[in-house]
Structures are given as C-alpha cells and as structure tokens.
C-alpha cells in the first residue's frame, strides 16, 4: 500500500467530519474523497470507529508530548482546549452522534496527564505525601473534566478559552496555598501526653 494512503484517509475523514455527523460518513465517501481504493482503507483500519480512535490517540499523544515541564497550569489547559476549539465542528459531530463516551474517555486521560504532570513539576510536590498529591490531582482533574463536559452539554456555545482563562485568574495561587497548608499541618509536632501543636 502507498505510504501516503493512511495519512490521506485520515485527512479526508477529518474533512468530512467537519461537514457532518460521523453517522452520516461512509467508507465509500472517505476513499472517494482521498482517491484511494476501498482495500487501502481496510488494510489500515478495521472500520470508521477504529479510524477515529487512532486519530484521537495521535492527537492526545501529540498534546501530551508537547507540554514542557515548566509551563503553568493555565498554559497546559489552554493548549488542550485549543485542540478541541480548532476542531470544534468535528468534535461536535462525533460527540453529538453517539461518540460521547469515546471522547470523554480520551479527555479524562488528558485531564489526568495535565494535572499530574503539573503537580509533579512543582517544588511543593516534594513536601506533600503521595496520598495528598493524589487527592489534589483527582480534584483538579475532575474540575477540568467537568468544565469540558459542561461546554459539550451547552453545544460548545460559549467561549471555553475565555472561560478557562478567567477561572485560572480567579483561582491563581490556590494549589500553592493548599500545598502550603498541607505542609504546615504536617510540620506540627506531637508532644507526648498532649494534643498536636
């Protein structure tokens, strides 16, 4: 099979996905659009869902791999959101036509990575316990994931980038404050026969 066939199949699929729901796209339309034969499609992909899964995995890996350790939580969140915003029609066409669970799985993975890598890259992560770090990661991941689901449930009608920027401004310093609080409580000394002081 020509080495470019797989790339062109993906390109045509994304183009069609920006035009209409995934349920209205056929293998025949994809191969006609990109100029390869049907056998080429089935050589590379089992079906349309497997094509979608590979594209999402590639995009996810690209997003996750492009984030330097020293970038802020805001930078990380906005980098992820930009991918969704830039492909808004395609995302909507998958999400609204039965792909809700599929996208949520990938987005949850991204939220996990963004929050875990951010916390792990900060100085304060060295003075909080692994258990407390997991609580923080779980909380932040859930907040980020919840905001994205809210955007989906509102048909992506509001500016999620502006929304995220404002929330980051409002909660700036919160993670540091929480970790400082944890550190202070961990430094309390227990005197035999007395309460912790």
pLDDT digits (tens, 9 = 90+) for 52-107: 888 888 887 777 777 777 788 888 888 888 888 888 888 888 877 766 777 787 88
Instruction: Determine, yes or no, domain membership for 31.
Output: no
State pTM to two decimals: 0.73
14 located within any domain: no
Does 123 reside within a domain?
A: yes
Angle, vertex CA 110, rays to CA 107 and CA 115, nearest 5: 125
176, 125 contact by CB (below 8 A) = no
Which single residue is written with the structure tokens 């907040």?
143
Task: Write 124-128 long-range contacts (CB < 8 A, 24+).
Answer: 124/175, 124/176, 124/179, 124/180, 124/183, 125/179, 127/179, 127/183, 127/186, 128/179, 128/182, 128/183, 128/186
Range of the domain at 96: 69-186
Q: How many helices (H) and strands (E) does the chain have?
A: 10, 0
Residue 15 lies in a domain: no
**Dihedral sign of CA atoms 29, 30, 31, 34 in order:** positive
Residue 46 lies in a domain: no
- Sign (positive/negative) of CA torsion 97, 101, 107, 109? negative
- Cβ neighbours for 165, distance < 8 A, ≥ 6 positions apart: 74, 78
160 inside domain: yes
Establish if 85 belongs to a structural domain. yes
Residue 29 included in any domain: no
Q: Tally the domains of the chain.
A: 1
Please determine, for residue 33, whether its predicted confidence score (pLDDT) is greater than 50.
Answer: yes
The pLDDT of residue 75:
86
Give the model confidence (pLDDT) of 179-191 as tens digits.
888 877 766 534 3
| pLDDT tens-place string over residues 112-163 | 888 888 888 888 777 788 898 899 999 999 999 999 889 988 988 999 999 9
The secondary structure of residue 101, as a DSSP letter, is H
């Amino acid at each position: 099979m020509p080495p470019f066939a797989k790339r062109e199949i993906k390109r045509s699929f994304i183009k069609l996905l920006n035009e209409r729901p995934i349920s209205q796209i056929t293998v025949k339309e994809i191969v006609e659009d990109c100029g390869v034969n049907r056998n080429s499609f089935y050589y590379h992909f089992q079906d349309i869902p497997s094509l979608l899964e590979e594209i999402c995995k590639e995009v996810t890996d690209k997003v996750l791999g492009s984030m330097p350790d020293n970038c802020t939580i805001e930078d990380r969140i906005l980098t992820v959101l930009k991918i969704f915003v830039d492909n808004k029609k395609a995302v909507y066409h998958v999400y609204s036509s039965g792909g809700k669970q599929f996208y949520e799985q990938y987005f949850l993975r991204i939220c996990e990575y963004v929050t875990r890598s951010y916390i792990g890259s900060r100085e304060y992560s060295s003075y909080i316990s692994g258990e407390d770090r997991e609580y923080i990661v779980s909380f932040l991941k859930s907040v980020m994931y919840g905001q994205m689901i809210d955007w989906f449930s509102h048909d992506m009608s509001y500016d999620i980038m502006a929304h995220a920027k404002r929330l980051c401004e409002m909660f700036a310093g919160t993670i540091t404050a929480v970790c400082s609080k944890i550190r202070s409580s961990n430094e309390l000394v227990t005197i035999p026969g007395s309460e912790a002081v």
